[in-house]
Each structure stands twice: as structure tokens, then as C-alpha cells.
Chain A
Amino acid sequence: MGIISKLPVYMENVPGGTIVTTSLEKVLNESRASSLWYLLFGTACCAIEMMCAGASRYDFDRFGMFFRASPRQADLMFVAGTISHKMAPRVKLLYEQMAEPRYVIAMGGCACSGGPFYYDSYAVLKGVDKIIPVDVFLPGCPPRPESLMEACIKVQQKVKKEKLQDWSSDRRG
């Protein structure tokens, strides 16, 4: 996608060309934000809240998000639940298997920083951002579905701010 990342540079020389790039950016970003498919991955209690948020009363599908089981087809990973040292390499593997552009929400206290298991625990990874880059941290034990929705909306806002120049893979997640 090298052509796309050089497009704004070329278009700046064309009079009125930046209108094209900004409109193109807007359309592409909006489409990615309105269609975030999340990975069906959850370890502990936060996973149950994630399932609730996807079910009837709170409904993620209103925002166009539905779950895909395979990491290759998912854009968003909720790290929902406590990540132990044994699980950590698997979480990293799942993250690496996701296709770019990809985003991560660290859901709940345990994924943000180890949560209640920060002290006196030999087995819990103290925060999932030690192994994968996280876009939104969402505290709570577990966070209510409305909080989870707010985190998703923050990811959507983050997606909408992305620029075309950042389209080569080493700049993005």
C-alpha cells in the first residue's frame, strides 16, 4: 500500500487536491470505524460482561460490531479477563495473527494492570500492555456494558483520526 501512503504528498501539488485526500481519508476511516469486528476471546469474568454487551439488551451490533472467531478476520481484540503467565504467549500469538489494521481494548482491572492480583500473585501478568500494544484501557471489575461501549466509541474516535500517510504497516499497530 505504498502508493496510498504517498498519495497525499502528490495531491498537495495539485490545486485543490487535498480535498480529495481528506475526503478519501474520511470515507475510509468512517468505514473502518463503523465495521469493527471483534475477536471472540475472553478469559474470565470480563468475558461474561463482553458477552452481555454483545447480546440483546446492550447490543454491539448497533455499531456494526459483531464477533468473528478467527483472529485473521477480526479488527478489535478485547482482552477480557485475567491473563496469567501461562496464557500470555498465547495472547501475543493471537495479536500477531490479527490482520492489520488492528486495535486492542484492555478490558477490566486485570488486563489493565493486574487488577486485584497485582499484589501477592505469582501467576498473573501485571497488565496486558506488557506484551501487546493497547489502544484503550478500560478499568472496572468488571466494567459495565455501558462502559465497554464507551471504550468502543473511543476506539472509533481513534480510528477516525488516522491519516493516510500512516498507511504503511510499520507506523500502525
Chain B
Amino acid sequence: MELTPLFQWIDTQLISLVEWLGLPIWFAELLEMVLAAVAVLLMAFLIVLFLVWWERKLSGHFQQRLGPMRTGWHGWLQTIADGLKLFQKEDIIPTNVDRKVFFWAPVVCFASSYAAFAVIPWGEGVIPTDLNIGILYILSITTFVVISLLMAGWSSNNKYALLGGMRSAAQIVSYEVPLTLSVLGVIMMTQSLSMVAIVEAQESVFSWFIWRQPLGFAIYLVAAVAETNRAPFDIPEAEQELVAGFNIEYSGMKFAMFFLAEFLNLFLVSAIATTLFLGGWQGPFLPSWLWFILKTTFVIFVIIWFKWTYPRLRVDQLMEFCWKVLLPLAFLNLIISGFLFRG
């Protein structure tokens, strides 16, 4: 039940439509790109729908209570209710904010998470575009989140937002270093930056990079959790300390954008973990896109588990952990893998 024949069929239909309309062929390619982007956007919304509900249910069950139960069967309509409610909220713009920056911060946050979805391999042949610099592109684009958090923190004209934004920027920028180094181990072994090449280098279950780079996987997981501002690294949006951090002055749809972007980021780092370490879409019997979704869901479950088990780290403990523990371990990983898998 692979998706490649479906895409080829769509391709031929579009080309014949464009020829019938008398437009040049590149127009068909442009339409295909737009269709792919829209499809990924729809998938992204569906994913966030599921993830918000799933996190609330999981957090409830971890705390021996039930999560949402009233809106639909076991609360599966909860995300839709949240979204509709946020749509109806008044959009407050406080008086002394920097208006343009205040407006664009949530947009930049969402756009940078969404842009990284262009190179996620959902299955065999199901990738919007197979850039040959795949993983490098992702690491660069996700850095834009830092800019959007700084924009949000600074423009809100509120000392808590500023503190939250600054702490968040420091945290994300610091944790990018061990993240990149752990990914570098995988790239060394694949000898290519392309996402599809990385998946294809893990043909059998025993050649998954999680067995060949266990330390790299551990470092990647911890750094990825810190990148997405989730607990135990969520000091920038800690309720008890910073009254919602950089989010504090956002209401209504702008807040919904930040919320959406956080869950998209969660999915993104899990998808990258699946691709890099767990063999991507490889697997017997089931179609490739189903394997990808199952593996990504498993990684998301582990990350949600982290959030609701561990207490929050203080900001100085967080930074110390990154620079004094993760970074040396990442270098060690690089040295050992470089030696073991030489040639």
C-alpha cells in the first residue's frame, strides 16, 4: 500500500491538465510544489490535533487521573474545541509593545517549524523534496525559533517576557551544539547529508544507528527535548517562575500559533530521531509510511513521558549540564565513532 503510485498518478494528471490549459510545463511543477506544501500543512494540523489530545490524556494517566473526557469520545475533540475557542478570543495588543515585531514573532515561530518539514521522509518516496543537504537544512531552519522567541520576549514590553525570551534563547543556542555533534556521528557513518540516504544506510534492524551510536542517540534525545523548550528544560515558560515566560502577553490566535509551533517542533524532533537513529521508514510487512508514523509516535511518547516524570531544572543547572556534561560526551562520541568506523 505504498504511496508512490498515487503521486505518479497525480503527476500525470497535473501535466495533462496544464497541457490542456496551454500553460508551460514548469507551471505543473509549481502546482505540484504548492500541493505538496498544502498536503504537509494539512498533515501538520492533523498531527497537532492528535498530539495535543494525546499529551493531555497521557499526562492524565501518568498522574492517575483521566484527561479530557467530555468533548467527544474520551475527549478526542478537545483540540478542536481549544482551537475554536482561541479563535474567538479577543486579540489584545498592549499599548507599549513594538507592534511589527509583536505581530511577526508567532508567524516566524510557526514558519520555521513548518519549513523544516520539507525534508522529512514520511515513507519510501514520500518526501516533499530530497535535498542533498537535508539534515543541515533542518538544523539551520530550526534556529529561527530562537529569533522568534527573542522577538516575542523583547517586543512584549514586560520584564517576565524578556527574562523568558533571553533564557530561552540562551538555552536553545547552547543545546544546538551537542545536538549537532550527535547528528555528526550519524553523518560520518552515512557519508551523506541527505535524509533519504541516511534512512537507506540503515537497511536491516541490526544496522539501525541506534545500535551503532547509542551515546549519540541519548545525547540527541536530551538535546532535542531542550531544543523544544519542554520539561525538564522548560524554564523559559515555567508557570511557577516566569508566569508563562515569553508567551505572557499573547492571547487568542497569536498564542495558538505558539502552541501549534511547540507541538510541531515536538513532532519534528521525533521525526528526525526516527530518521537518523531508528531506521526511518524501514520495516517488514507494513507500508513504509505506517512504520514511520509508528516509530515517531514511540519517540513522542518517550518525550512526553520525560515531561511528566522529571522535575524542572534551574537555569544554571541547565546550562551547566549542557556545557559541562553533554558537550564533552558528544565530543567523546565523535572520537570513538570516528575511530571505530574508520575507512
Direct interface between A and B, CB < 8 A:
yes
Q: Check if B88 sits within 8 Å of A101, measured CB to CB.
A: yes
Q: Mark A45-84, 1 if CB is under 8 A from B, else 0.
A: 0000000000111010111101111101101000000000
Q: Mark B249-267, 1 if CB is under 8 A from A, else 0.
A: 1111001000000000000
Name the contact of A27 in the complex, choosing from B63, B67, B84 (C-beta under 8 A).
Answer: B84
Contact count band on A: 20 to 34
Q: Check if A61 sits within 8 Å of B65, measured CB to CB.
A: yes
Q: Check if A64 sits within 8 Å of B250, measured CB to CB.
A: no
> Interface of chain B, helix or strand or loop or mixed?
loop
Contacts between the two chains (Cβ within 8 Å), count: 99
* Tally of chain B residues near chain A (CB < 8 A): 36
Q: Is B204 located at the chain interface by the 8 A CB criterion?
A: no
Q: Check if B89 sits within 8 Å of A101, measured CB to CB.
A: yes
> Interface of chain A, helix or strand or loop or mixed?
loop
Q: Is B214 located at the chain interface by the 8 A CB criterion?
A: no
One of A6-14, A31-39, A85-93, A106-114 at the interface: A31-39
Q: Is B316 located at the chain interface by the 8 A CB criterion?
A: no
Q: Check if B60 sits within 8 Å of A61, measured CB to CB.
A: yes
Q: How far is the CA of A34 from the CA of B70 in the complex (A)?
A: 8
Q: Check if B68 sits within 8 Å of A99, measured CB to CB.
A: no
- Listed in ascending order, the chain B residues whose CB lies under 8 Å from chain A are 56, 60, 63-71, 75, 77-78, 80-85, 88-92, 239-240, 243-244, 247-252, 255
Q: Which 10 A-B pairs have the closest CB atoms?
A: A31-B84, A99-B251, A70-B244, A72-B251, A69-B239, A34-B81, A56-B65, A35-B85, A59-B65, A34-B71
- Listed in ascending order, the chain A residues whose CB lies under 8 Å from chain B are 27-28, 30-32, 34-35, 40, 55-57, 59, 61-64, 66-70, 72-73, 75, 97, 99-101, 169
